[in-house]
Chain A
Amino acid sequence: MDIVISGLLLGGSYALIAMGLNLQYGVARIMNLANGELLVLGALAAFWVFTTTGMSPLVTLFAVAILGFAGSWAVYRVFLVPLVRRSANQGQLEVDSILATFGMSFFLVGVMVSIHSEYFTYSFLASPVALLGTTVALNRLVAFCFAVLIGGGLYLWLNRTRAGLAVRAVAVSPEAAGLVGINVDRVSALAFAVGGMVTGVAGVLVSTFITLDASVGVIFTMKALIIVIMGGVGDIRGSIIAALILGMVESAVATLIDPGLTLASAYLIFLLILLFRPQGLFGRRAA
């Protein structure tokens, strides 16, 4: 039971980390290498507000959500739309967006170092909760609940609303979506902005139980990328399930075999999925 619960909680935080990138990469087709930095920016906001004013990160979360959305929207419109316009094909856009967002990641690291160069660490809801015969940290549980809310919300939005339908259409084929009257630019900007919002919120939540610093973003980008590719690019369900699998496996390996092998086991699973289902768990096979 220990393994299942802590695996679920860990998987939940992985899902938080990956869902934003999935929207950005899957729909807006921007391989956002500054994704991790955006997450750390959310964490820094939560830390900074908490240590200076004592305000709960759960309040900061809403401000970060709004700023994350607006900031990502602006970044997409100003910096990324020109890349989308001039790229002849998907491959070209991927290369261009990787370079552009790589640059942004350095910029963001610099900004964060100048704001707070030490570790972002504080105590919030760090109390034990008994859950089905095991003890978990309240802050992890809260983050998991938010992961469920956000994941569920995104799923419903994508599958039950008209806007979600348009987003999915763009994810499948921007050209075809444009032909049936969908404003592809607008939908892409929306998906990119929602992705940024989710990532910023994830940063706030993760900062309540993981000690971050200005330079740690790249680790989260890598993790998110692995999960997105495992789950299938452009599919929210895939990311959530891949994140849960990863969390479960890491927690099982750490408890039953050796904590030293968690990283190895995560990469083993990644490797197996790439070998036997290269399009990801829920991905579409390239035509």
Chain B
Amino acid sequence: MDTKLVVMNEMLFSLTNWEDQMKRRNFLALAGVLTAGLMSTSALAADPIKFGVVSHLTGPLAGGEAVTHIPNIELWVQQVNDRGGLSVGGEKRPIEIVTYDDKTNPAEHIKAVQRLATQDKVDFMLSPYGTGFNLAAAPIYAKYNYPLIAVSSITDEIEELTERFPNMFFTLGSTSGFVDGVVTTLTKLREQGVIGNKVAMVNVADAFGIELADTARPKFVEAGFEIVYDKSYPLGTPDLSPVVKGAKAASPDAFVAWSYPPDTFALAEQAIIEDLDVGAYYSAVATAFPAFSKKFGGKIEGVLGAGGVNPDTPAMQEYRNAHEEVTGKVPDYWASATYYAQLQILEQAIEGVGEIDQAAVIDYIKANEFDTVIGPVKFDKHNNSDRYWSVGQWRDGQFRAVADTGMGDSADPVAKEGWN
């Protein structure tokens, strides 16, 4: 008898808890997107335009997807449907999103994309999270001739890829551009007399970290830096204190980590504990996340990281406010805005073409300039938008761009002065 009671109590508890959370914050972004879609569908007579997206709702990349992609889709759907939808063929048609979870598994991902194309027959698709997933999905997008505006994807193979897949576009820059941003930033700091020549470099031992470290090594040497510590660590290492202790023992002037979210957090925490005294501290993915500044507060003042934005433009301010208002979350300071720009580009191209015609939309994207939250976006002959911020720095609670390619509105980097 009493075991049954315990179970019922448990269930009741989790149920009330659940409701509470649903009320308090719109945690389940997917549900938000779906409800937004449903509500507007019932409110409007016109046939919805179907957008498919294969998300990592679970699995290793789910945490990043939940920060950078999902809230933007929610925001965009709400904004467009509040306006009545997209103007196509003389009528307003609302947006409907079809989402699948791929468990961060490339094979599942490809199956789901295939399903979106053949079963759900979606009109357009939104790009996936992660370089590997964009590359893995590219052939299927090409086969069914969907435009693929890759955002969370950084590679040096842009020219080869877009030649093979002319429906594919790139917006967040190349590996070289990404590394150049870091080298330029450190060079500037050296010119200011803030740091010397000694760089300690670590990387997460997976494709992302290894490629960046391999690209960075000769570039640092070429720029006159000396790499005094150069180690990798496996993904998911539970204790990074030996890495930070090792780097500290090499007494570097600058610390550069080609890191992933969990280790970006762990490295900064260790650096604070070890009091890693460097004039420049850089970590890659997730440094731009609001959770990073929430966790460390003022201690990370001056920390450099991948991404950055110019928070001062009216478009960016408007976007950030709307994002927070609609989703209840602060957008990250890197690919969030670019992902939203992807949605704006699709929106403008579809309305520009005036009908649901994927091939025409692809041509339209190639031929036109788009007004987006990150400024004007125009794709070059390799379908690449060579305008992006590459390095940001935490300054007074904002992650401000200090290096860019083609943007020209970055601030000058300043020294990292201690961890307090």
Q: When the two chains form their complex, are residues A74 and B273 in contact, meaning their CB atoms are under 8 A apart? A: no
Q: How large is the interface on A (under 10, 10 to 19, 20 to 34, 35 or more residues)?
A: 35 or more
Contact A119 B233 (CB under 8 A): no
A126 touches B269 (CB 8 A): yes
Cβ contact within 8 Å between B104 and A215: yes
| Nearest 7 interchain pairs by C-beta | A254-B242, A117-B66, A213-B63, A259-B233, A260-B232, A211-B265, A211-B262
Instruction: Give B residues with C-beta under 8 Å from A.
Output: 3, 6-7, 10, 14, 18, 21, 27-29, 57-60, 62-63, 65-67, 70, 104, 202, 205, 231-234, 236-243, 245-246, 261-262, 265-266, 269-270, 272-275, 286, 289, 291-292, 294-297
Q: Contact: A70 with B231, CB < 8 Å?
A: no
- Minimum CB–CB distance from B292 to chain A (whole Å) comes to 8
Give the dominant DSSP class at A's interface.
helix
Given contacts A123-B269, A259-B237, A260-B231, are A71 and B10 in contact (CB under 8 A)? yes
Chain A residues positioned under 8 Å from B62 (CB to CB): 113, 117, 213-215
B297 CB to nearest A CB, Å:
8
A255 neighbours in B (Cβ, 8 Å): 242, 245-246
Taking CB atoms, residues of chain B closer than 8 Å to A136 are 241, 273
In whole Å, how far is A248's beta carbon from the nearest beta carbon of chain B?
12
A214 with B58: CB separation less than 8 A:
yes
* Residues of A bordering B, CB below 8 Å: 2, 6, 9-10, 13, 51, 70-71, 73-74, 77-78, 109-111, 113-119, 121-123, 126-128, 135-137, 140, 209-216, 219, 250-251, 254-255, 258-260, 262-263
In the bound complex, how far is the Cα of B415 from the Cα of A180, in angstroms?
A: 73
- State A119–B21 Cα separation when bound (angstroms): 17
Our pick among A117, A210, A251 for the contact of B242 (Cβ within 8 Å) is A251
CB atoms of A126 and B245 under 8 A apart: no
Min CB–CB distance B213 → chain A (angstroms): 11
Query: Is the pair B6, A123 in contact by a Cβ cutoff of 8 Å?
Result: no
Bound complex: CA A135 to CA B58 (Å): 36
CB contacts (< 8 Å) of B104 on chain A: these are: 215
Interchain CB contact (< 8 A) of B234 among A6, A77, A214, A260: A260
Is there an interface contact between A121 and B29, defined as CB atoms closer than 8 Å?
A: no
Quick one: which of B234, B295, B297 contacts A262, CB cutoff 8 A?
B234
The answer to whether B239 and A10 have CB atoms under 8 Å apart is yes
Contact status A113-B57, CB under 8 Å: yes
Q: Which of B27, B262, B270, B294 contacts A115 (CB 8 A)?
A: B27
Q: Which of B231, B239, B273 has the most CB of A within 10 A?
A: B239
Residue in A closest to B7 when the chains form the complex, CB atoms: A74
CA distance A216 to B260 in the complex (A): 14
Central interface residue in A10, A73, A121, A122, by most chain B CB within 10 Å: A121
Q: Which residues of B contact A119 (CB under 8 A)?
A: 63, 261-262, 265, 286, 289, 291
Is B266 in contact with A210, judged by CB distance below 8 angstroms? yes
Which residues of chain A are near B275, meaning CB under 8 Å? 128
Residues of A within 8 A of B297 (CB): 123
How distant is the Cα of A9 from the Cα of B241 in the complex, in angstroms? 11
Nearest-Cβ distance from residue B252 to partner chain A, whole angstroms: 16
CB contact between B243 and one of A116, A118, A127, A259 (< 8 Å): that residue: A259
